Structure 1
Amino acid sequence: MRSRLLVIDNYDSFTFNLVQMFLQYDLDIWVFRSDKLALNQVSTLAPNYLLVSPGPKDPAHAGISIPIIREWHRQIPILGVCLGMQCINEVFQGRTVRAPIPRHGKVSAVHHDGQALFTGLPSPFTAARYHSLMVEVHAGALAVTARSDDGVIMGLSHPEFPLHGVQFHPESFMTETGFELIENFLRIGPLATPVRQAPRTVSPLTIH
């Protein structure tokens, strides 16, 4: 039986680029729009992993994203990308504010702590940024795991639970280490030895 990934899609053009990355691993994948899934439906899906996607707005307009992170972060590995990381931060009393300089389609050097998502990755590595908002972390709630060369927070993790976020886009061709980061995330859960495969002829993907 394959492990199951639940994807919360915040109506973003990058969501299915991320999904295509995960489709190269031994996973069944469900994708739900962030306003099309009720919290009480999630346990029926029995996910082993949760991905909260980027999005064009802010955490206040991210549907179920904040409630599902709050409800499930103690139980399964969660990865938030861009807006998804901002939602993680707001669950733990952080703030989402305007970045000093918007970065859309820009590449930055990302310096990190070498732990969890960043295990075995060079520091720095180059990564693609598409954001005009950034996070301010509530003291002691989450660990800052990565920053860009201009000092903006690029990674967050919970010190106790398998909850991780990145502000940059691992799915972009401009990000050097996207698949390595995805595999590190999968190792946190039941897919302890992820093996990247050729795309499958029968898609294990369900979209709602």
Structure 2
Amino acid sequence: MVIVLDFGGQYNQLIARRVRECNVYCEVLPYTTSLDRIREIAPKGIIFTGGPASVYAPDAPSIDPGIFSLGIPVLGICYGCQLMTYLLGGTVSKAPVREYGRTEITVSDSSNLFKEVTTNTICWMSHTDYIEKPAAGFTVVASSDSCPIAAIENTERNLYGVQFHPEVVHTPEGTKMLHNFLYRVCNCNGDWVMSSFAEEAVANLKAKIGDKKVLCALSGGVDSSVAAVMISKAVGKQLTCIFVDHGLLRKNEGDEVEEIFTKQFDVNFVRVNAQQRFYDKLAGVCEPEQKRKIIGEEFIRVFEEEAKKIGTVDFLVQGTIYPDVIESGLGKSAVIKSHHNVGGLPDYVDFKEIIEPLRNLFKDEVRKVGLELGIPEKLVFRQPFPGPGLAIRIIGDVTPEKIAILQDADYIYREEIAKAGLDRSIGQYFAVLTNLRSVGVMGDERTYDYTIALRAVTTTDFMTAEFAELPWELLGRISNRIVNEVKHVNRICYDITGKPPATIEWE
């Protein structure tokens, strides 16, 4: 295991992902983690993240310098590199010019960090301070024209630092550098694989739950589905899944979820068909945030009613994943957004403890576990879908008629993307029913019908995104099918806005 100490850097999750991609287990912890806790964990290595602060500022995040005497290899990235230098007696100063973007650096092949890395390689710089003088015992092992000290090392103490970000895609050989640190410096074994994780997790859940009852709020999304199957593998019929069908799912989705959980896995499955209830609550509501609140609140009420029928349960399952945990704030890290599953479950549902079997996994790892557990690929690789469902892909008020129109259009869109072999390469794609109606002509008659907007983006982290450059021929085929096969649609538009300035979803 390797730990990543978070000093407020925007790439902290990405560092952990890269480490795990090297088959080494990794967790992100706050920089306030005590030395005693670190000794107890006994990691093979420690990575300091970047961060927006200056190490010499009075309120800058810092750490006990004793961490460098634990005998555990440390890699400092950007701010982490500067902090290491500062705490060990080197000099960090404000740079005359901020260095940001792609930069060519020259590395030393004699350093374990840069073995088999091209001598002149590209990296991603993002810093306003620089190392003016390394601490005693450190050697400079990389430099650039504008950054004479781009990487440092103290091989005697196994301390390394880089002024750039090896974890981002803009540093092409960055993963190789991290791999070198993990294997050449930390001597990791590389035995972190999904099959062993799934097997171990199921065994641990079986031991924890014993003969007690478990309740799962199943949305049908990837996270809650994988969590439910994992619990099912551990305790079988002791698990009850409540699937609230709010009528805002994609075409056939409710039936697909029910079929998988009733025919393939041994669980007590309760499907609550609450479509009309949600439609009544949403009638005449146009404001996006109000839609979200209504759906979240009603979901809670339906779930609560069904849970009461079951009676007291010992455990409640949630599909929380690692980005949710990190973004909700670690220690003194900034809270990006507070996460709560299924719209925030009520305090008065009668259960004793929450189980979150996926809370240490990233999204791509959750998918891998899903495959290991035997969940069909169709469900595992399902497109990201917002909790409020199609309600926030319909601009304006929501009606059963509009939902049917969007379901059919979206189904055709996704079907054609899959036929073109692009379903795994596009980050996210979906249709939106705009509130715009326009004049058209079909069968020599005037029409006045809706416009469907198509959205497709490429992204690695969903924090930023570019529109996907779909082939014109494919877009033409999708447009032709939707207009001909879906009633009340006579115009198709393609959204070519990136994020920022737009968001991926329309509402």
**For this structure pair, what is the TM-score category when the shorter chain's length is used for normalisation?**
0.7 to 0.9
Distance in 2 of aligned mates of 1:179 and 1:199: 23
Distance in 2 of aligned mates of 1:76 and 1:137: 24
Distance in 2 of aligned mates of 1:80 and 1:45: 19
2:10 pairs with 1:10: no
Q: Which residue of 1 aligns with 2:99?
A: 103
Distance change in 2, residues 1:117/1:196 (3 Å): farther
1:68 is displaced (CA, Å) by: 5.0
Distance in 2 of aligned mates of 1:200 and 1:25: 15
1:178 is displaced (CA, Å) by: 0.8
Larger Rg: 2
* More strand per residue: 1
1:198 is displaced (CA, Å) by: 8.2
2:48 pairs with 1:27: no
- Match for 1:130: what amino acid? S
Distance change in 2, residues 1:94/1:45 (3 Å): same
Q: Which segments of 5 or more consecutive residues in structure 2 lack a partner in the other structure?
A: 202-320, 331-507
Q: Which residue of 1 aligns with 2:168?
A: 172
Distance change in 2, residues 1:151/1:11 (3 Å): closer
1:140 is displaced (CA, Å) by: 4.5
Distance change in 2, residues 1:197/1:127 (3 Å): farther
* More helix per residue: 2
Q: Is the 8 A contact 1:39 1:67 kept in 2?
A: no
- Match for 1:41: what amino acid? R
Q: Which residue of 2 aligns with 1:93?
A: 89
- The match for 1:112 among 93, 107, 114 is 107
Percent of residue pairs identical: 23
1:95 is displaced (CA, Å) by: 1.2
2:122 pairs with 1:126: yes
Partner SS, residue 55 of structure 1:
coil
Distance in 1 of aligned mates of 2:188 and 2:137: 28
- Match for 2:128: what amino acid? S
2:78 pairs with 1:82: yes
Distance change in 2, residues 1:200/1:25 (3 Å): farther
Q: Which residue of 2 aligns with 1:145?
A: 141
Q: Which residue of 2 aligns with 1:63?
A: 62
- Match for 1:24: what amino acid? E
TM-score normalised to structure 2 length: 0.36
Q: Which has the higher contact order (CA 8 A, sep 6+)?
A: 1
- Match for 1:71: what amino acid? S
Distance in 2 of aligned mates of 1:10 and 1:200: 31
Q: Is the 8 A contact 2:130 2:147 kept in 1?
A: no
Q: Over residues 3-30 of structure 1, what are the superposed CA-to-partner deviations in whole Å (9 max), with x where a residue is unaligned?
A: x111110111111111110121333323
1:136 is displaced (CA, Å) by: 1.8
Q: Over residues 69-125 of structure 1, what are the superposed CA-to-partner deviations in whole Å (9 max), with x where a residue is unaligned?
A: 4333xx122111001111121233111101121023x11111111121011111110
Q: Which segments of 5 or more consecutive residues in structure 1 lack a partner in the other structure?
A: none
2:129 pairs with 1:136: no
- The match for 1:40 among 36, 49, 61 is 36
Q: Is the 8 A contact 1:69 1:88 kept in 2?
A: no
Q: Aligned residues, how many? A: 199
Distance in 2 of aligned mates of 1:25 and 1:199: 15
Distance in 1 of aligned mates of 2:195 and 2:132: 38
2:187 pairs with 1:190: yes
TM-score normalised to structure 1 length: 0.84
Distance change in 2, residues 1:58/1:174 (3 Å): same
Distance in 2 of aligned mates of 1:135 and 1:182: 21
